[in-house]
Structure formats: structure tokens, C-alpha cells
């Protein structure tokens, strides 16, 4: 099994936030082949993938397999650069260039000399900075803020984004000439939901990372828990899987991770699933959800129509666990209606408070 991790974390057992990617799934193996093709060249690279898929990890692997491997690898998040400080951060500045510049400072481009500069979230870079970046790619030299002297640089650029740069070009938010400068070697990272064969190896990797007691037996994942992991859509990708396993390691008992130990965040899942279902349920011929209910027959008809549409929507989303979704939404609605009182919610649903508490924990409502 091939696993890539942050090179400064792999040799230790420190519990630090870091992503890893596995190349077990056919899509991942194709990505690895692409990395090995691109790495030895000097071409600029553009990595496209959703948040949490491991774009920086792929960039580091390209650097490690290149002729620049002995040089520095500098990672910069363009989304964190403010408009006023971006130029100084990237290109450096001279002493006295602006208020507070009491010393000269080397920028990230100079720091990456003879190495690789990874520009994450390149789509967030402002248009003026895009112009300056384009010039650097063309001239291979930078000018510090407050200086007139050009400084030659030898840097390979690897950019990454989770936005559609082609659409950004059409919308006038990203320069077309810069786009083509970066669009030399393209790598597209599949989302975790599209490479199911990577989920279990990744889960086991994170179990080993977060099980900090060296004398304890390695945790195993029960068959039902494995099924729950495989069926999940993972909108947060590898980062979500890492956090999910970390939580499971903390709460598991008797050396086994069970389904109830696996808790998914509802922040992303609600947005994705419920948005999908809302659009799927729109039907002009169906009775409105806000229709007045005057009798038991009205209620039955409304419920029948609602569940029929929900069932049809679930057939379009095969990865959706419809039973779990219905239970979760039912408990959520009751819990909200009872003003977040567990005892009242249990009484309304005719179950014990312990049952309600277990479900609330499962759905991350506590």
C-alpha cells in the first residue's frame, strides 16, 4: 500500500493535524502515475481538487521526486495574504520601505530559490497580484518593495485551487494569460467519495496515528463501522475522515471502533444532502409542505406524498442512507420543537432519555 504523508510528521508519533493520501483505488493509482510523470520536469503545475483532498501533499510529492528535492519547499496560502501585505510577503521588502519596515526582509520567492514554491488557493489572489506574478513567471526575477534592483530567482511554481479557474477567467476574476502559464502540467485530485478503495486504508493509517498509547493493541474497525465509513459521502474529504477517526479513537472501547463511535459533522453533510434533496423534492403536482391539515386523512395524504417524493429522491442518490436520514431529521425536528430539552424530546417520541442522548451524540447535536 502506498501512503504519502507530511515528511516532517511521518517518522514520529506526534498527534499533529496532517493529511495523508493512499494510492489503492484505481483513480488514485492513475494520479500517482501522473505525479511521477510530471515531477522530473521543470514545468509549472496546477493542482485542482476540493478542500481536504491533499493538494499540498501532492505538491510536496512532486517536489520530492523532482531534481529540486534538495532545495526548499515553501507553501503559501494565497487566501491568507491581505492586499496590503501580499507584495511584501511574496517579494520581500527593504528597510524603510513602509511604516514598520525596520529591517529588510526576504520574501517567499527568494526563500524558495532553487526549490519549489507552492501557491495554495491561487484563485484567491487579487488581480493586481496576478499581474505581478505573471511578470515574475516571464522574467524570472523579483523586485523587493522599496527597491529598484531586480533579483534573479530560480523557482518552480506549483499552484493549487478548489475553484473553477476556467470559469473565473470567463468571469474576469482570473487573468487568462496567467491561467495558461500555470496550465502546463495539470493534476486533478478526485474527491474521497470517488475513490472508495482508499477509505479503509486511510482510516487504519489515522488509527495508528492517533492511538497514542504504544503498549495498547491496535484498534480494529468492526464490519458495521467499516460499512458506515464506506457509505458516507465525505464532503470534507480526507480532512473529514481524519477528524472522524480521531474522534472514534478517543471514544472507542474494548479495542474496537463501532458504528456509534463514528460521528459525522452535519455542517457539510446537511448542506450537500439536504440541498440535493430539496431540489429533488420540488414537484409542482405535489401538495405543498405548508398545506393546512384539518383531519387525519389530510395528514396521511401529506405524509404519503412526502415520503413518496423522498423515496424517489433517494433513488437518484444511491450513496444516501435514507433510513438514517429520516431518523436523524425526525429527531432533529423533535429536539428543536422541544427547545433542546432531552427529557421532553424523549417523552414526545415515546423513548427513554438515554436513547435520545445516544442519538443526539450520534448526530453531533451535543
| pTM exceeds cut of 0.75 | no
CB distance 39 to 9 below 8 Å: no
Selection from 159, 58, 62, 72 nearest residue 118 by Cα: 159
Give pLDDT, residue 87.
86
- Binned at pLDDT 50, 70 and 90, residue 9 comes out as very low
pLDDT value for 352: 85
One domain for residues 236 and 138: no
DSSP of 25-51: SHHHHHHHHHHHHHTTS---EEEE--T
Residues 205 and 286 in one domain: no
Give the per-residue pLDDT at 269.
52
Residues 54 and 70 in one domain: yes
Cα separation, 121 vs 132, whole angstroms: 17
Per-residue pLDDT reduced to its tens digit, 102-153: 888 899 999 999 999 999 999 999 999 999 999 999 999 999 998 889 999 9
| Structural contact between residues 40 and 66, judged by C-beta atoms closer than 8 angstroms | yes
- For residue 211, give the CATH number of its domain: 1.10.8.60
Query: How many Å apart are CA 264 and CA 252, to the nearest integer?
Result: 15
Same domain for 143 and 234, yes or no, is no
Name the band, by pLDDT with cuts 50, 70 and 90, for residue 204.
Answer: very high
Residue 224 has which C-alpha cell? Answer: 458495521
Whether 14 has a pLDDT exceeding 80, the answer reads no
Report the percent of the chain where pLDDT is more than 90: 49
- What total of structural domains would you count in the chain? 3
Same domain, residue pair 58 and 162: yes
Tens digits of residue pLDDT in 205-252: 999 999 987 767 889 999 999 999 998 999 999 999 999 999 999 999
Count of C-beta atoms within a 10 Å radius of residue 27:
17
Backbone angles phi, psi at 114, to 5 degrees: 70, 15
**pLDDT, position 160:** 96
Does 166 share its domain with 208?
no
| Confidence at residue 291, expressed as pLDDT on a 0 to 100 scale | 44
| Same domain membership, residue 167 and residue 43 | yes
The answer to the question of residue 21 being in a domain is no
- Asked whether residue 62 falls in the same domain as residue 157, the answer is yes
Domain with 344, as residue range(s), is 266-362
Whether 149 and 274 share a structural domain = no
- According to DSSP, the β-strands at 73-77 and 92-93 are unpaired
Cβ(63)–Cβ(106) below 8 Å: no
Residue 309 lies in a domain: yes
Q: What CATH number does the domain containing 38 carry?
A: 3.40.50.300
Please check whether residue 20 lies inside any domain of the structure.
no
For residues 65 and 4, the answer to whether their CB atoms sit within 8 Å is no
Give domain status of residue 210, yes or no.
yes
Question: Does the pLDDT at position 268 exceed 50?
Answer: yes
Distance of CA 4 to the CA centre of its chain: 16
Residue that has been written with the C-alpha cell 521588502 in this structure: 93
pLDDT tens profile 167-200: 999 999 999 999 999 989 999 999 999 999 999 9
User: Number of C-alpha atoms within 13 angstroms, CB side, residue 277?
Assistant: 23
Amino acid at each position: 500500500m502506498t501512503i504519502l504523508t507530511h515528511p516532517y510528521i511521518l517518522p514520529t508519533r506526534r498527534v499533529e493535524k496532517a493529511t495523508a493520501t493512499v494510492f489503492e483505488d484505481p483513480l488514485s493509482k492513475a494520479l500517482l502515475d501522473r505525479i511521477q510523470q510530471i515531477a522530473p520536469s521543470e514545468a509549472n503545475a496546477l493542482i485542482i481538487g476540493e478542500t481536504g483532498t491533499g493538494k499540498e501533499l501532492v505538491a510536496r510529492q512532486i517536489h520530492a521526486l523532482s531534481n529540486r528535492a534538495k532545495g526548499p519547499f515553501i507553501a503559501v496560502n494565497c487566501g491568507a495574504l491581505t492586499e496590503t501585505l501580499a507584495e511584501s510577503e511574496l517579494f520581500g521588502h527593504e528597510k524603510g520601505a513602509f511604516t514598520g519596515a525596520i529591517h529588510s526582509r526576504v520574501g517567499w520567492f527568494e526563500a524558495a530559490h532553487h526549490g519549489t514554491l507552492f501557491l495554495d488557493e491561487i484563485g484567491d489572489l487579487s488581480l493586481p497580484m496576478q499581474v505581478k506574478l505573471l511578470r515574475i513567471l516571464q522574467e524570472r526575477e523579483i523586485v523587493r518593495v522599496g527597491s529598484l534592483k531586480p533579483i534573479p530567482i530560480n523557482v518552480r511554481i506549483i499552484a493549487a485551487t478548489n475553484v473553477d479557474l476556467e470559469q473565473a477567467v470567463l468571469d474576469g476574476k482570473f487573468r487568462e494569460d496567467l491561467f495558461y502559464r500555470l496550465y502546463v502540467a495539470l493534476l486533478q485530485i478526485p474527491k474521497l467519495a470517488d475513490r472508495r478503495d482508499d477509505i479503509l486504508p486511510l482510516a487504519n493509517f489515522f488509527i495508528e496515528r492517533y492511538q497514542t498509547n504504544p503498549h495498547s493493541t491496535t484498534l480494529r474497525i468492526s464490519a458495521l463501522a467499516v460499512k458506515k465509513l464506506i457509505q458516507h459521502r465525505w464532503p470534507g474529504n480526507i480532512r473529514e475522515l481524519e477528524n472522524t477517526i480521531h474522534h472514534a479513537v478517543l471514544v472507542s472501547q474494548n479495542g474496537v471502533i463501532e458504528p456509534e463511535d463514528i460521528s459525522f459533522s452535519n455542517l457539510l453533510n446537511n448542506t450537500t444532502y439536504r440541498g440535493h434533496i430539496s431540489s429533488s423534492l420540488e414537484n409542482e403536482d405535489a401538495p405543498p409542505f405548508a398545506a393546512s391539515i384539518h383531519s387525519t386523512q389530510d395528514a396521511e395524504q401529506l405524509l404519503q406524498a412526502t415520503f413518496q417524493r423522498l423515496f424517489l429522491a433517494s433513488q437518484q442518490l444511491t450513496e444516501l442512507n435514507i433510513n438514517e436520514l429520516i431518523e436523524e431529521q425526525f429527531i432533529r425536528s423533535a429536539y428543536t420543537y422541544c427547545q433542546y430539552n432531552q427529557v421532553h424530546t424523549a417523552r414526545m417520541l415515546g423513548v427513554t432519555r438515554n436513547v435520545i442522548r445516544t442519538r443526539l451524540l450520534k448526530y453531533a447535536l451535543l
